[in-house]
Amino acid sequence: MMNQERFELIKGALSEAAMTDDERLLMNYRITPETKLPPMQPLFRMFDTPCFYRGELVAACGKAKSGKTLFLSVIMAAGLTDKVLALERHTEPMEKREQNHVSHELCRVATEEDDSQITEITEKT
């Protein structure tokens, strides 16, 4: 047993010495079962099940004509209103005044076809 502990100690020292600076930096961000993570914050609920958590990277993939655009449109609409079809906001709803302002601005800018202004508006909210 003592030889195994010594072996592991030497093995760990050698592997750490062989690491590059980038690998050492990545080890600081490594998530293990012991890592304490902040609680996840769901943004929406679908059929009363939380989904789309804040900070998560999500991709909508599928075959052609399978409804990806419709699904993304429902998600965007749920971001402006409290509920769209089965998708509803999980977070506290914005005040109606703010919702109406954002909706109005997005519609106005969309008719002007200027993507840079849409980006500015969405970043402000």
Domain region containing 50: 42-124
pTM (2 d.p.): 0.47
C-alpha distance from residue 119 to each of 84, 95, 96 (Å): 23, 21, 21
Rounded to whole angstroms, the Cα distance separating 68 from 116 reads 24
Q: What is the pLDDT of residue 15?
A: 72
What is the model's pLDDT at position 23? Answer: 83
Q: How many domains does the chain have?
A: 1
For 46, counting Cβ atoms within 10 Å of its Cβ (0-12 exposed, 13-18 middle, 19+ buried), the class is middle
Structural domain contains residue 11 = no
CB proximity list for 37: less than 8 A, separation 6 or greater: 31
The answer to whether residue 13 sits within a structural domain is: no
Q: Is residue 23 part of a domain?
A: no
Is residue 24 one of the residues assigned to a domain?
A: no
Q: Tell me if 58 is assigned to some domain.
A: yes
Amino acid identity at 53: Y
**Six token digits for residue 3:** 């030889």
Mean pLDDT, 10 residues at a time, the chain of 125 residues: 76 74 84 88 88 84 92 85 85 52 55 52 52
Q: Does residue 2 lie within any of the structural domains?
A: no
26 domain-assigned: no
Q: What is the DSSP letter of 86?
A: T
Encoded tokens for 19: 């690491």
16 is a domain residue: no
